[in-house]
């Protein structure tokens, strides 16, 4: 059965490119991006892992750890990392899970039912410090992921976890946000001292509260 938003992210132990890890210990109170790759030495995934490494500082300032997965063994991962670093002008230092028995892929439902037995789809899971699934994305094997969108969603998840707001379409960090319907209009000034605009009774916007 597929994981749903709000479900506990299953724990696991796995061999990775930096040694054995326990997933819950790896989370260690941080946010985590866990994402899968069909196999090593594949072109699209090479660019994706490289892009993740290039954005290291962006993930770090959001208190996010990254964890990748492929069904190939650690030795292949280490050789692939050399290629990634060379071709993408980066330094991959985050772990890549060696999921040769497909234990983690099956635990997180990453195996595409219409693909080969070892081919994982391009799944993305954002997991909060509370170890619950906050976001899932699934891409086809032919389409590389947009990591700026993943960062944008993390910004929204972290903001809305702390304040009674939602983010509108195409929102970016620093832009106005929506006051959730559960907040009565007469209560908005006390909760959002920066002010608000009532476009409709159900659509009230306010400056981003943590900026």
Running along the chain, 211 residues long, what does each successive block of 10 average in pLDDT? 89 96 96 91 93 98 96 94 97 95 89 57 91 93 91 98 97 97 96 96 96 88
Over residues 39-67, the pLDDT tens digits come to 889 899 999 999 999 999 999 999 999 99
| Alpha-carbon gap, residue 192 to 198, rounded angstroms | 13
H or E element: which one contains 52?
helix 43-54
Sequence-distant (≥ 6) Cβ neighbours of residue 116 within 8 angstroms: none
How much is the pLDDT for 1? 54
- What stretches of 62-146 show up as alpha helix (H) in DSSP? 74-88, 103-107
Q: 71 with 100: CB under 8 angstroms?
A: yes
How much is the pLDDT for 137? 93
Phi then psi for residue 196, to 5 deg, are: -155, 165
- Domain residue spans in the chain? 13-145, 163-206
How much is the pLDDT for 139? 87
**Domain 163-206 coded CATH 3.10.20.30:** no
How much is the pLDDT for 37? 86
Over residues 11-33, the pLDDT tens digits come to 999 999 999 999 999 999 999 99
Residue ranges of E strands in the chain = 13-16, 19-22, 31-37, 64-70, 96-98, 122-127, 133-139, 165-166, 177-179, 197-200, 203-206
Active site residues: 45
Topology of the domain comprising 13-145: Glutaredoxin (3.40.30)
């Amino acid at each position: 059965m597929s994981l749903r938003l709000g479900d506990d992210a299953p724990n696991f132990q796995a061999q990775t490119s930096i040694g054995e890890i326990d997933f819950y210990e790896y989370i260690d109170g941080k946010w985590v991006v866990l994402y899968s790759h069909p196999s090593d030495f594949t072109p699209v995934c090479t660019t994706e892992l490289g892009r993740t490494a290039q954005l290291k500082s962006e993930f770090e300032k959001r208190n996010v750890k990254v964890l990748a997965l492929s069904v190939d063994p650690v030795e292949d991962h280490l050789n692939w990392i050399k290629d990634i670093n060379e071709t993408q002008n980066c330094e991959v230092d985050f772990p890549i899970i060696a999921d040769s028995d497909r234990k983690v892929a099956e635990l997180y439902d990453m195996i595409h039912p219409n693909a080969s037995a070892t081919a994982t789809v391009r799944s993305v899971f954002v997991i909060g410090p509370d170890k619950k699934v906050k976001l899932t994305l699934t891409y086809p094997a032919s389409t590389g992921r947009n990591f700026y969108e993943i960062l944008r969603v993390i910004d929204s998840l972290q903001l809305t976890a702390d304040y009674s707001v939602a983010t509108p379409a195409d929102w970016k960090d620093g832009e106005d946000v929506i006051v959730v319907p559960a907040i009565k209009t007469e209560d908005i000034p006390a909760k959002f001292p920066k002010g608000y605009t009532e476009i409709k009774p159900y659509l009230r916007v306010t400056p981003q509260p943590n900026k």
